[in-house]
Amino acid sequence: MTTQIVCVFPGQGSQTVGMGRDLWEADDAVKALYQEANDTLGYDLQRLCFQGPEEELRLTQNAQPAILVHSIATWRCAIRRGLQPVLLAGHSLGEYSALVASGALGFGDAVRLVHQRGRFMQEAVAPGTGSMAAVLGVPRQDVETLCRELEGDGVLQPANYNDPGQIVIAGEASLVATAMDVVKTRRLGKAIALKVSAPFHCRMLQPAAERLSQALAQVTFRPWSIPVLSNVTATPHPTPEAIADLLIQQVCAPVRWEEAMRYAVAQGCDALLEVGPGKALAGMMKRIAPEVQVLAIETFLT
């Protein structure tokens, strides 16, 4: 029986200084990829990835293209060695990597888009006014009820449905702090503040979604060779023409990652390969569907 592989691409937070250097040193095609990214952005992303400083790499507008370039470099090395997945998905930013891998989105367009996306997200909310927290061990319906209970006229909502034991919430910093206190005092589970620069995937980022829509209007999406799961619907993008609207919605909508992975399993995927920096998505799949074989690749394939 043939193994059915879903390839997944990581999102922001997986970046590390030095990532991709071994790929670059070993492969001329990867060198060309980083050069194209540098030319597209107009600054030395390669130097930033390989040498840092970490504080600069961590900035949303830099981290997003850095992760995308590393992910696509790893993907292309893997494809040349015979990788044949049946389905693709990416967590938040990673959806752009998945669309490039599928052939639906050009690499240069993607680098430019995620750089703009990162800047738009950063500029949408004043520093310190929004935050995010991971809520662990609390059922989905209880997290949703808590957000509705505390939100009032403000913003507090689930941002990432990552796996059965982890849901990330986002919104106004004071409301996120209150939610963390309630989780603790009611002994519902555990809440951990996340070190992020903006409250991603909530209504506070509507200005970023509006600016991104203008950037996406300049891009042409093509038919894909491999289906890509949407973060918004947890099912495949239906047509190339629908991609832009789903990417606009994705800015403020929750990432339905657990549902997307369950969809992949229901379609017969019995193996997951995380392509790019880190192993966070592989870990999530172990908690979503322990029977699925998982592997992460982020370095040169021999």
Are the C-beta atoms of residues 271 and 292 closer than 8 Å to each other?
A: yes
- Give pLDDT, residue 26: 83
**pLDDT tier for residue 119 given thresholds of 50, 70 and 90:** very high
DSSP one-letter code for 236: B
Q: Which of 70, 91, 201, 237 is catalytic?
A: 201
Both tokens of 80, joined, read: 């040349």
Are the C-beta atoms of residues 113 and 219 closer than 8 Å to each other?
A: yes
pTM: 0.95
Q: At what angle do helices 173-185 and 140-151 cross, to 10 degrees?
A: 130
SS3 for 135?
strand
Q: Tell whether the model's pLDDT for residue 246 goes beyond 80.
A: yes
**In the block, which residue shows the tokens 């996306």?**
117
Determine whether 91 is an active site residue: no
Q: Which of 92, 97, 102, 230 is catalytic?
A: 92
Domain boundaries of the chain, sorted by first residue? 5-124+204-297, 132-196
Evaluate whether the domain defined by 132-196 bears CATH number 3.30.70.250.
yes
Reported as a single tens digit per residue, the pLDDT across 129-166 is 999 999 999 999 999 999 999 999 999 999 999 999 99
Reported as a single tens digit per residue, the pLDDT across 209-226 is 999 999 999 999 999 999
Determine whether 92 is an active site residue: yes
Question: Mean pLDDT, to the nearest integer, of 279-287?
Answer: 95
Are the C-beta atoms of residues 146 and 167 closer than 8 Å to each other?
A: no
Q: Within 13 A of 71's CA, how many CA atoms are on the CB side? A: 36
- What is the per-residue DSSP string for 166-224? EEEEEEEHHHHHHHHHHHHHTT--EEEE---SS--SSGGGHHHHHHHHHHHTT------
Both tokens of 76, joined, read: 């292309």
- Give pLDDT, residue 198: 87
Strands (E), 67-155: 87-90, 130-136
Enter the CATH code of domain 5-124+204-297: 3.40.366.10
Of 19-23, 159-163, 269-273, least confident by mean pLDDT is 19-23
